[in-house]
Amino acid sequence: MRGPMSDTHADRENGSYDVIVLGAGPVGQNVADRARAAGLGVAVVERELVGGECSYWACVPSKALLRPVIAVADARRVDGAREAVTGRLGTGGVFGRRNRYVTDWDDSGQAAFVTSLGADLFRGLGRLDGPRRVTVTGDDGTTHHLTARHAVALATGSRPVLPDIPGMAEARPWTNRQGTDSSTVPARLAVVGGGGVGVEMATLWQGLGSQVSLLARRPLLPRMEPFAGELVADGLAKAGADVRIGAEVAALHRPDPRGPVTLTLADGSRLEADEVMFATGRAPRTDDIGLETVGLTPGSWLDVDTTCLVAGVEGAWLYAVGDVNHRALLTHQGKYQGRTAGDAMAARAAGRPLDDAPWGDHATTADQHAVPQVFFTDPEAAAVGLSAEQAVRAGHRTKSVDVDFTAAQGANLYADGYRGKARMVVDLDREVLLGVTFVGPGVSELLHSATVAVAAEVPLKRLRHAIACFPTVSEIWLFLLAAYERG
């Protein structure tokens, strides 16, 4: 096998590369970056926009749109500042801000970044065509046949799932795409699904002036501590949204495509809205990427090892990174996998030993122990590691400590009438943290302190010497540790 720095002009003319990356979202770009940094010849294939769902219809536009909503809510929590907030949000300014952050859905900047790495960018649909082979079909029907000496990385992301409900096609529902790229505010918006997309979209569109109904079968944010979903539901209700837990949509009717949509719920009641959005989970974009040509099942999530190699494929050449491996459907976690897998490919290509023991350079150990996540709702919900219930289920001997943020003067000074809660889950055998959850205004920037403590397994005896500044929201740490010590 040839080592790194093996791509020559002739190789590229022949479509021969060290590494081929399918999908130029944030994750694919990170694989390409690391592989190029190690001197490998890289081809990147993208069928839509370089930058992926995250840049144009997910993280970036949603946070660009949510920020003005939260900024106004924050100001309204401070006596004196509140009086200065008059009127409604300027939707022109809000949508203009979003358009700037998504570069008007023009990917030339990110495409230039990929080529600046020294990677070749192929525009078109990439499909595996047997081991180490990829075919790219462009919109204009042109075809490129590529081969990979060392690795193919599948970074094709995920798409929204629409449940099989009568009338779905007629209802022309919004998904995360319309929820983030629309520039008109529906007077009434029904949002179905109480996960991350549902709660953020409900916060956003209610804040922009829609009358939002959030329909969730189960309590909100089921993967976080229960109090997170409860406080977020309270916040939405306070903002004027109609939050219905235990609601199930049975049928949809929209006889006039320009008219309202009627939702019939399982209890027989009806709800009329101007748009309905489904935020009911994701499916992997693996149905049409040639998985069957390498013995895998089209449409499946891809099982991977700690270096992100796909299980059940001979020869250590096929990697799956980001949403497609279903480890953690988060950009930052996918990028971490991309960096780790890119480094592992380079080590394997050079014949160097792998450092894939837990927390090694070629191991994605944080995927199991220290995944951080923030929902940018009002209040924000932020968590890292295991919830109390997950920790017990994983067999740990634990103690959970809960503190109300009003204990911290920094929180009270940050927002009058601050409402929020924190929990830390302690591993009693090792006296380190397994997980931490913060819910409250401004907690998103507090989360990284907890992520460092969980990932680095900082002993609690040492953590008590990490002093939070007075008077900041971070003072919550002092009260969590004191509550733990009190027993």
Q: Rule CB under 6 A: which residues touch ligand NAD?
A: 163, 192-198, 200, 217-218, 222, 248-249, 279-282, 329-330, 373-376
User: Residue 235 or 322: which CB sits closer to ligand FAD?
Assistant: 322
Binding range to ligand FAD, per CB under 6 A, among 24-32, 72-80, 97-105, 113-121? 24-32
Which residues in 188-217 contact ligand FAD (CB under 6 A)? 197
Q: Dihedral, CA atoms, 341, 346, 352, 358, nearest 10 degrees?
A: -20
Residue 422, CB-side half-sphere exposure with 13 Å CA sphere: 29
Q: Considering beta carbons, is residue 151 or 191 the nearer one to ligand NAD?
A: 191
| Three-state DSSP string of 306-348 | CCCEECCCCCCCEEECHHHHCCCCCHHHHHHHHHHHHHHHHHH
Query: Closer CB to ligand FAD, residue 73 or residue 134?
Result: 134
Sequential DSSP letters for 3-59: -SS---HHHHHTTEEEEEEE--SHHHHHHHHHHHHTT--EEEEESS-TTHHHHHHSH
For position 23 contacting ligand FAD by CB under 6 A, the verdict is yes
- What CA–CA distances, in Å, run from 423 to 218, 235, 433, 465, 486? 22, 19, 11, 19, 15
We find the least distance from the C-beta atom of residue 67 to ligand FAD, in angstroms, to be: 12
**Least distance from ligand NAD to the Cβ atom of residue 471, Å:** 28
Site string for ligand FAD, 153-182 (x = CB under 6 A): --xxxx-----------------x---x--
Reference 199, options 225, 160, 172, 231; nearest CA is 231
Total binding residues for ligand FAD by CB under 6 A? 37
Q: How far apart are CA 453 and CA 316, in angstroms?
A: 34
By CB under 6 A, name the one of 34, 47, 132, 339 that touches ligand FAD.
47
Is 58 a binding residue for ligand FAD by CB under 6 A? The answer is: yes
- State the Cα–Cα distance between residues 384 and 373, nearest whole angstrom: 6
Tell me if 24 contacts ligand FAD by CB under 6 A. yes
Binder of residue 194, out of ligand FAD, ligand NAD, none (CB less than 5 to 8 A by kind): ligand NAD
The total of other beta-carbon atoms located within 10 Å of residue 223's CB is 13
| Near ligand FAD by CB under 6 A: residue from 18, 21, 28, 433 | 28
12: amino acid identity, one letter: R
Point out which residues bind ligand FAD (CB under 6 A): 22-28, 45-49, 52-54, 58-59, 62-63, 125-126, 155-158, 176, 180, 197, 285, 289, 322-323, 329-332, 334
